[in-house]
Amino acid sequence: MKKKIFVILASLSIALSIVLSLVSPTSAAASCPDEGVFTLTSDSQGNKLFNGSHKTFTVTLTNPIFGTPVPYETINVTFLENINIAPGTQKKGYVINSSNQSVTPYQATDGTENVVTIKTNEAGIATFTITGENTTVTPLVFLDRGSKAWDSNPDDNSVYVYVSDYRFDEATEHCAKANPVTFYQFMANPRDYKLMDPRLKILPYPYYNVDPIIIPH
């Protein structure tokens, strides 16, 4: 009986350490003030999801001068945590692209980047879906134009394009960000689990900060 209680308590401790590792604060920052350009909403699932779950966001792009939707415009999608990071340190968050592939967008300090874009429809609306694994990511959309200037000609409902470099530049580009979304591993009743390595009863704490290593019987 004591052994079962110990295993249950240990499993609960593991689960807690996993959750704490997922909600650590991010070093990235972007204010993305409301400039009347983007409206970013999400589905009703909530922001704490099991690994592999999908969450869908809807973006509406509006010309701030005339208040009209901007059709057929390209919008970049990335994660706040993956902006200006050291190479190879991107979070395990993914945007599902038009080819149904899971792509991790990022821009690294060595000049490399992975780009994901979506395009608005005739009503100025676009959607994207994210998923992830043992991570927390903050979806961010932006207009990769190198300028916040808009054409004042009502017959040309578009932004001026100065520099399109596939990277987010907060000072010169419109953006909007959602609330952080956490993806975590489902933990069933601890009595239904055993340690992956039978030689060890409890692995050291740091191992559980990355991925759970318990598997079902």
Q: pLDDT tens for residues 61-119?
A: 999 988 999 999 999 999 999 999 999 999 999 999 878 889 999 999 999 999 999 99
- Give the pLDDT confidence score for residue 155 in this predicted structure: 66
Q: Residues 71, 169: one domain?
A: yes
**Cα distance between residue 195 and residue 82, in whole Å:** 33
Q: Do 163 and 110 share a structural domain?
A: yes
**Residue 131 sits in the same domain as residue 208:** no
Do 19 and 64 sit in the same domain of this protein?
no
Asked if the model's pLDDT at residue 42 lies above 60, the reply is: yes
Domain count along the chain:
2
For residue 209 the two structure tokens come to 């900060």
Domain that holds residue 194: 2-24+187-216
pTM above 0.85, yes or no: no
Q: Let me know whether 11 and 77 are in one domain.
A: no
* Whether residue 155 sits in one domain with residue 210: no
Same domain, 175 and 191: no
Q: Are residues 74 and 116 in the same domain?
A: yes
Tell me: do 146 and 129 sit in the same domain. Answer: yes
Strands (DSSP E) contained in the chain are 38-42, 48-50, 55-63, 68-69, 74-79, 83-85, 93-96, 102-103, 106-108, 113-114, 116-119, 125-132, 135-137, 139-142, 175-177, 181-184, 193-195, 214-216
Residues 84 and 11 in one domain: no
